[in-house]
A and B are shown apart, each in its own frame.
Chain A
């Protein structure tokens, strides 16, 4: 049995599938959200203290530029936090990955009884099934991970050699790993 795929690596959907399923991107998104929230809370706490001191001393609230700077900082942190909420961080990561990818770069993949063969111009990789750590169904693409953030995206639309159900069953038998469904 042999399944073949042809995947364009410079396609935004491919980059999106990779970034949405990558453990590293998910962790960075969490860190960015928490970091921005923490900065916003620190700015808010300082501003509260700043206003308290002004009221206690019966002075004008914004008596020096420090209050304005922290107010601007608070606004900036809130805007950044809103930007990286939900799937926005993954989208930004996908766009950055696409910018880094040479235009027109495509990858052919063959899943055979022995292993997976991935070929690009000037580069050919053969991976045994024991190397795979995760199998993810990301909607338009399958992603086969060999490390938490390193995966081979396979365009479902280009699948030949069988249908999607057969491929999924074949991979599950070969690797012993369950399929993770991203959109489920």
Chain B
């Protein structure tokens, strides 16, 4: 298969974190922000008669947990996912041809027809090309060879009809 573009998928904690950032529901950020909102609500309730100690205790506890969730929860969640999906060949060479994408390493190969892809996103410095709800080809823009990232995105759009989403 002649490849228009090539890239390299490296499965590591950062890749797992990028995947998690998009597929996890509720996201770690949402959990953290919900806790901070609940903390603010409790702090407000503490001004009601007889609720001062209760409201302030709950507000402080929720705020502490919320900040910890915002800072660390995604990292904590990503590590076991990286371990669980680590195969014997963690690096995959990706070849984007006219008909399909071929992913190959020393353990085997997979051929994805362009119709298999349902979402194309960029998150934490990685491109994610989803072929199932929670499975994606993940690679860095720097690993793409055969053209610049704009040409690559245009190629993917032409083949799959998907436009690049920026997941923040």
- A-side residues, CB < 8 A to B, are 22-24, 27-28, 64-66, 69, 100, 115, 121-128, 130-131, 133, 146-150
Max chain A CB contacts within 10 Å: which of B51, B58, B86? B86
Q: Which residues of A contact B133 (CB under 8 A)?
A: 100
A32 shortest CB reach to chain B, Å: 13
> Would B84 and A64 count as touching, CB distance under 8 A?
no
Question: A68's closest neighbor in chain B, by CB?
Answer: B54
Query: Contacts A23-B84, A24-B84: A146 and B107 contacting too (C-beta < 8 A)?
Result: yes
Q: A66-B57, A100-B133 are in contact. Are A128 and B85 (CB under 8 A)?
A: no
Q: Which 3 A-B pairs have the closest CB atoms?
A: A131-B107, A122-B116, A149-B84
A123:B88 contact, CB within 8 angstroms: no
Q: Which residues of A contact B53 (CB under 8 A)?
A: 64, 66
Give the docked Cα–Cα distance between A70 and B111 (Å): 54
Note all chain A residues with C-beta closer than 8 A to B81: 24
Quick one: closest B residue to A148, CB to CB?
B84
Q: Knowing that A122-B131, A123-B116, A147-B84 touch, tell me 4 more A-B residue pairs with CB under 8 angstroms.
A: A64-B50, A122-B116, A148-B84, A149-B85
Interface contact tally, CB-CB below 8 A: 75
* Chain B residues engaging chain A, CB cutoff 8 angstroms: 50-51, 53-54, 57-58, 80-81, 83-89, 106-113, 115-116, 131-134
Determine chain A's interface SS by DSSP, over half rule.
Answer: mixed
CA distance A65 to B52 in the complex (A): 10
A116 → chain B closest CB, angstroms: 8
How many angstroms from the CA of A121 to the CA of B111 in the assembled complex?
11
Cα A128 to Cα B110 in complex, Å, equals: 12
B86 touches A125 (CB 8 A): no
Q: Which one of B51, B54, B86 contacts A147 once the chains associate, using CB atoms below 8 Å?
A: B86
- Indicate which residue in A64, A66, A100, A147 contacts B134 across the interface (CB closer than 8 Å): A100
Residues of B within 8 A of A147 (CB): 84-87
For A22, the chain B residues whose CB sits under 8 A away are 84
Partner of A123, one of B51, B83, B110: B110
- Contact present for B109 and A24 (CB under 8 Å): no
Given the known interface contacts A123-B113, A146-B87, A150-B84, the answer about A64 and B54 at a Cβ–Cβ threshold of 8 Å is yes
Q: Tell me how far the C-beta of B50 lies from the nearest C-beta in chain A, rounded to whole angstroms.
A: 6
Q: Which residues of B contact A122 (CB under 8 A)?
A: 112-113, 115-116, 131
Q: Is the CB of A125 within 8 A of B110?
A: yes
From B54, B106, B112, B116, give the contact of A66 (CB < 8 A): B54
